[in-house]
Structure 1
Amino acid sequence: MSTITKQDKLEVLIESLKELEPFVIAFSGGVDSTFLTAAAQQAEVEFEAVTVSTPFVPELEIEAVNQLVASLGFQHHLLEIEFDKLGEALANTAERCYHCKKVIFSRILAYADGRTVIEGSNLDDTGDYRPGRKALQELGVKSPLLNASLSKKEIRDLSKEMELPTWNKPSLSCLATRVAYNTPITREELEKIDLAEELLRHNGFEHFRVRDHANLARIEIAQAERSKILDLSLMDKISAKLKQLGFRYVTLDLAAYQSGSMNKEIMADQDE
């Protein structure tokens, strides 16, 4: 049994950040990048956080980023990438994340102007299908949380101890992850998904996804919240609203929400 504690790993992280300065942090406002930023503050190193806004990112998340910057107080810059600049990512093949990361981090690297760029991948990110990791490696982007062997649970626990508001924030993923692979992504599709998820959020759900399979919306609800959606009047309300948004069919996945559920078929093909 390992005797290395999360505090030991935090110390490793702090020392590695001192070696990397000055650097730019790819800041999404999620659990990992917020913890990484707070660790950089604790290390008292020279850094800047950069957020990239694309049509794949809900506006709600950009608002959350602005609130975090104001509350935690660090140097921050917002970059924007227009829809038509996302290139091959819009084809939505199994390599979508690779192409998207290439565009986003190439832009961050250009802004960094020679400074090291770091991001918040952690130990748990090595288990799912993540072609974006390949893009980060090709571009020379560093992943200090991963190098310190910090898991998601450890990051959440340390974030709670540091009193970060994101310690229990639901996992983030871009809106493109809701669209079935090999279905080209459109502005309208992203807006439809964003509005559909905002509807569920407005009705009290916190951990969920609305997966878009052409004209069918597949709703995934976290295990702890599934009983709430069994209210018949609520189901009727959600179904009617989603159909108004343009979905022809609205279904409830009988399995609980699972991060990366769209990747199962791809990973199964790789195992064959």
Structure 2
Amino acid sequence: MVTQLLEQLTTLFKQMDRALIAYSGGVDSTLVAKIAYDILGDRALAVTAVSPSLLPEELEDAKIQAATIGITHELIQTHEMDNPNYTSNPVNRCYFCKSELHDTLKPLAMQRGYPYIIDGVNADDLQDYRPGIQAAKERGVRSPLAETGITKAQVRQLSQYLGLPWWDKPAQPCLSSRFPYGEEITITKLQRVGRAEIYLRKLGYQGVRVRSQEDTARIELAPELILEFVLNTDLTQLVTQFQEYGFIYVTLDLEGYRSGKLNRLVAPESQK
């Protein structure tokens, strides 16, 4: 099964002469970058967008992974924080984020002679509310993983098969996803969420989320880690640290981490 999926992706990339990969450093776009480089060599370029919604640690991971693969890697600045349609945090916030990304990448691709822009959207992403996918489609972006029906689990299987050491890397969407729709996003808020999540990572908790609502931080962990967290963490010290970051209240979500949890508040008609 894995070899069949790899063959499908390989065939797709062989049909391309040159490709620019919208490369976040996540497991999806890194797999795409790996296969693109294996097929196209120096005719593949990975580009990472840098903005306040990207953790500095994630950017460093992206650099290391690109260097390990061997693909040429460049950085660009995006300015979604200058767009009130984005910072006001509507339910389709991601549409404006991806519009900014691809409106920045497209001129670069045209200037450098890359006829294809590729992203890491997978088949599972098509089943969730992802308005950013529409923005990419409108700009002619290709999604090889989705086009070949490859799911997140299969992305990890393929990455492990290819020997990529980050095959089990936790998903890390942009920091703006930590805020309930309708709450304004600011650089200060993004930074305090980022610092809080880094603090929890250093305690040994991966795949953690710090959801922010006004002055309250809500920690989401994998359900099976909640009891360990409560018993083994110095909660007083944690609260003090979070308050230094700018939060007033610190809570723990007893349901645990669930991807796309904030989309529960989005009315079905708004997801169309």
TM-score norm. by structure 1 comes to 0.93
Among candidates 18, 22, 26, match of residue 22 of structure 2: 26
1:168-195: CA deviation from partner (whole Å, max 9, x where unpaired):
0000200000011111111110111011
The change in CA–CA distance for 1:270 and 1:94 in structure 2 (over 3 A counts) is: closer
**Aligned residue for 1:197?**
197
Give the 5 Å matches for 1:47-66.
47-66=44-63
For 2:30 and 2:223, the matched residues in 1 are separated by 26
Give the 5 Å matches for 1:1-272.
5-44=1-40, 46-82=43-79, 84-113=81-110, 115-231=115-231, 234-267=234-267
For 1:221 and 1:233, the matched residues in 2 are separated by 13
* Contact 1:86 1:103 survives alignment (8 Å): no
Per the TM alignment, residue 224 of structure 1 is displaced from its structure 2 partner at its CA by 3.4
For 1:268 and 1:234, the matched residues in 2 are separated by 41
* Contact 2:226 2:254 survives alignment (8 Å): no
For 1:249 and 1:74, the matched residues in 2 are separated by 44
Greater mean alpha carbon deviation, residues 216-225 or residues 184-193: 216-225
**Which ranges of structure 1 fall in alignment gaps of 5 or more residues?**
none
* Contact 1:26 1:120 survives alignment (8 Å): yes
1:11-53: CA deviation from partner (whole Å, max 9, x where unpaired):
1111111112311001111101111111113324521111111
For 1:31 and 1:102, the matched residues in 2 are separated by 22
Which runs of at least 4 in structure 1 moved beyond 6 Å after TM superposition?
A: none
Per the TM alignment, residue 85 of structure 1 is displaced from its structure 2 partner at its CA by 3.5
The change in CA–CA distance for 1:66 and 1:247 in structure 2 (over 3 A counts) is: same
For 1:54 and 1:86, the matched residues in 2 are separated by 13
Greater mean alpha carbon deviation, residues 163-172 or residues 83-92: 83-92
1:185-238: CA deviation from partner (whole Å, max 9, x where unpaired):
111101110111111111111021000011111110012322221127522221
**Which ranges of structure 2 fall in alignment gaps of 5 or more residues?**
none
For 2:2 and 2:163, the matched residues in 1 are separated by 16
The change in CA–CA distance for 1:261 and 1:176 in structure 2 (over 3 A counts) is: same
The change in CA–CA distance for 1:115 and 1:86 in structure 2 (over 3 A counts) is: farther
Give the aligned length.
Answer: 267
The change in CA–CA distance for 1:165 and 1:232 in structure 2 (over 3 A counts) is: closer
* Contact 2:156 2:167 survives alignment (8 Å): yes
